[in-house]
Copies of this chain bind each other. A is one copy, B any other.
Amino acid sequence: MKLAEVANRLSCTLEGDGNIEIHGVATLEDACAGQLSFLTNVKYHNEAKKTLASALIVDSQSPSFGKAVLRHHNPYLIFAKSLNLFYPAMPLSPSIHPSALIASTTTLGEGVSIGAYTVIGERVSLGNRVVIESNCVIQEGVHLGDDTQIHSGSVIGKGSIIGRHCVIQSNSVIGSDGFGYAKNDDGSWYKIRQTGIVILEDEVEVGANTTIDRATLGETRICKGVKIDNLVQIGHGALINQHSLICAQVGMAGSTTIGKNVILAGQVGVAGHLTIGDNVVATPQTGIANSVAANQIISGAPSMDHKIWMKSSSVITRLPELLKTLRRIEKRVAQIEQTSQVKL
């Protein structure tokens, strides 16, 4: 595809030779002639100077490095779109494998695909163009909206409601029982029946081997556009608002509400019954034990303002030295006091 057409299709401003033939996308380091690359951070200027790419996607201020460039105020988004342009998803011809077991009360939209050995329970409804890969279990009463994809080996528990354009990666479990037990007088645990469901709104994506528990009562709800990575635990009764990002191995205990546009980085832990405000960013491994107001960047365990944590954690390595200094000063002050008493 000629660069001018690429610019046109990606709605970028072209600077340079629009006749260059582009046949793929690669990183600055790996790109070869005829490929398009991208620069989204000034710290990669050195790589940009050396790249063999024939053209670059850059932001509004960036130099062009002697290359033809596609300018856009959001070059990372344009990079993402260029991948779909050059490596489009292969069109799937819809098919239902004869070994798929589909209950008679299940309703299927148009163009549904179901893989081998997938088991679909009673009263399930599948929207148009739903794709369910092999070896999945879709339990009774589940709803999957149009264009939603369930990858191999995932289990969608009873009554779960999943919106349109959702993706569940392989071996995830939506609708496992929440972890709730009441203590019997003899110290043993009495299981609390988990009567609720899980709701995923439209455009929610869930990684591989992630677990989202059904609510004890009511619902666990993941709102529109939320993206969840691999090996994440979402406790019963949680609510995650629109467009939040939940990175790998995050754990959220039950009944916690996460605001809109929140980012929880990898391995963050969030206690139960908290409210995390909109736009909060928690850096990796943050331990959130209390509710957090909107618009904070937080770090550490227990979590604190990120800037304070940066300063505090830099002092931590110097604690032994600090302790020594304190002991030395203590001794000197005692000497001064003694001398003063004598002398004054």
Count of A interface residues, CB-CB < 8 Å: 118
Q: Which of B172, B271, B285 contacts A301 (CB 8 A)?
A: B285
A284 → chain B closest CB, angstroms = 5
Expressed in whole angstroms, the Cα–Cα distance for A91 and B307 within the complex equals 56
Contact A217 B27 (CB under 8 A): yes
Give the number of copies in the complex: 3
Contact B135 A117 (CB under 8 A): yes
Q: B residues within 8 A CB of A311?
A: 319-320
Q: Which of B26, B176, B339 contacts A340 (CB 8 A)?
A: B339
1/0 contact string of A115-157 vs chain B (CB within 8 Å): 1110100000000000001111101000000000001110101
A29 → chain B closest CB, angstroms = 9
1/0 contact string of A40-76 vs chain B (CB within 8 Å): 0000000000000000000000000000000000101
Q: B residues within 8 A CB of A333?
A: 329, 332-333, 336
Counting CB contacts under 8 A, is A160 at the interface?
Answer: no
Q: B residues within 8 A CB of A216?
A: 83
Interface SS of chain A: loop
Nearest B residue (CB) for A335: B337
Counting CB contacts under 8 A, is A221 at the interface?
Answer: no
Counting CB contacts under 8 A, is A313 at the interface?
Answer: yes
Q: B residues within 8 A CB of A26?
A: 217-218
Q: Which of B89, B153, B183, B314 contacts A193 (CB 8 A)?
A: B89
Q: B residues within 8 A CB of A266?
A: 233, 251, 253, 269, 271
Contact A81 B190 (CB under 8 A): yes
Counting CB contacts under 8 A, is A267 at the interface?
Answer: yes
Counting CB contacts under 8 A, is A1 at the interface?
Answer: no
Pull 26 A–B residue pairs with CB atoms less than 8 Å apart, ordered by A.
A74-B182, A80-B182, A83-B192, A89-B193, A101-B116, A117-B117, A135-B136, A155-B208, A169-B177, A173-B230, A176-B207, A189-B243, A209-B210, A211-B231, A230-B233, A249-B251, A251-B267, A266-B269, A284-B289, A285-B301, A301-B301, A311-B319, A318-B323, A333-B336, A339-B340, A339-B344
